Amino acid sequence: MGYLSSIKVAIACFPFLAFLFTLPFILSQYHKYGSIHKLRVLIVYSFILYLMTAYFMVILPLPSFDEVRNMTSPRMQLIPFQFVIDFLHETSFSITNPATYLLAIKESCFFVPLFNVFLTLPFGMYLRYYYQCSLKKCLFSSFFLSLFFELTQLSGLYFIYPRSYRLFDVDDLILNTLGGVLGYFFVGIFRFLPSREAIDAKAIEDGMNVSGLRRMTSIFLDLFFYLLFSLLFTAMFDFKHPMLISFFLYFVGFSILMQGKTPGRSFLNMKLVFENHPIFRTILRSFFLLFYYFFFPFFLFPFLFTGISSVSLSPLFTVSLSIFLLLFFFCFHLFYMIKLLKTGKMFYDKILGFRYQSTILEKKKR
């Protein structure tokens, strides 16, 4: 039941860690491949869940401080293969009596060492299959993962507790390392799974098209870079409208100098391609986006509501009209955000005469 409880805790905590990991994962995938492969998502996130589960199995259940303070049990077991001696002495196993074999493997002295092997078996499988580690790297990685677990126990959960509440056992190091090595060999039977090279090749092939999520990610990444650039620009120069000037310097200046790229687009391997007159259309697009995403919702829209309120209309009609306009504005943008995620295009792309083009192949050729 203790192991089952640890698994439940890991599953409960997983969404929070996955949320923190998602943005860096998206950025790294678009930067490397230009797309996010579904199988890669499954592999990487399941690996995170596995590591969380293994970690919680090592530290849980947490005892009380008083219970740990009163412990007098040994903190370390440094005799290699002590688990073999314990198995022979503490179980009903008798090498001369085959009838005891089945009974012996049902006892805890057999299951605890077996669990330590199984604990790192998936680790070796992930290392060989996805991370393409050699047997030597897998062996050392499994050992150091086990050492991390054992030191976590020995330190009393990083000195939170007054002493260790679980035993530092050299046999665990041996068995965990063995588990990782067995996992390395065991993964060979999963030949039906595509290779890492095939996953990467398919991801780059998909990355030749700019998806809606990739385009949306570039927008938010460029906004982040723009804010940093604007803060630096404001600190260095004393202009009347520094945010506005820095906006055009960033989104127009960089786009012209970098031939359709900005720092955000360049990082995600994409650029803007215009039908004709790229400089003029870059400026026009920037003016339109500034009006549509900034001026209209933050200045014109509140001004419109103020005007409605000042007209001699019934309060019920004024409130109803205001709610209708807000809902219309929200639904309009929600519709096009969903459409953007599906098609990778917005309604103003064709009007302004531009499209997004992937540069992932240019990166691979360099």
Close Cβ partners of 325 (under 8 Å, ≥ 6 residues apart):
301, 304, 305
Kindly state the percentage of the chain with pLDDT values over 70: 89
Contact 10, 2 (CB under 8 A): no
What does the alpha-carbon distance between residue 300 and residue 156 come to, in Å, rounded to a whole number? 60
What does the alpha-carbon distance between residue 142 and residue 176 come to, in Å, rounded to a whole number? 7
Tens digits of residue pLDDT in 226-249: 999 999 988 888 888 888 899 999
pLDDT given for residue 308 in this prediction: 59
Contact 152, 58 (CB under 8 A): yes
pLDDT given for residue 250 in this prediction: 94
What does the alpha-carbon distance between residue 23 and residue 25 come to, in Å, rounded to a whole number? 5
Tens digits of residue pLDDT in 139-198: 999 999 999 999 999 999 999 999 999 999 999 999 999 999 999 999 878 778 899 999
Contact 259, 271 (CB under 8 A): yes
pLDDT given for residue 310 in this prediction: 61
**pLDDT tops 80 at residue 330:** no
Contact 76, 167 (CB under 8 A): yes
Query: What does pLDDT average to over the chain?
Result: 87
Lookup result for tokens 């077996």: 114
**pLDDT tops 70 at residue 335:** yes
CA distances from 248 to 254, 262, 308 (A): 9, 12, 33
**pLDDT tops 60 at residue 1:** no
pLDDT tier, 33 (very low <50, low <70, confident <90, very high otherwise): very high
In one-letter notation, the amino acid at residue 327 is: L
Tens digits of residue pLDDT in 286-325: 998 888 777 776 666 666 666 655 666 566 666 676 677 7
Contact 124, 182 (CB under 8 A): yes
What does the alpha-carbon distance between residue 323 and residue 346 come to, in Å, rounded to a whole number? 25
**DSSP tag of 189:** G
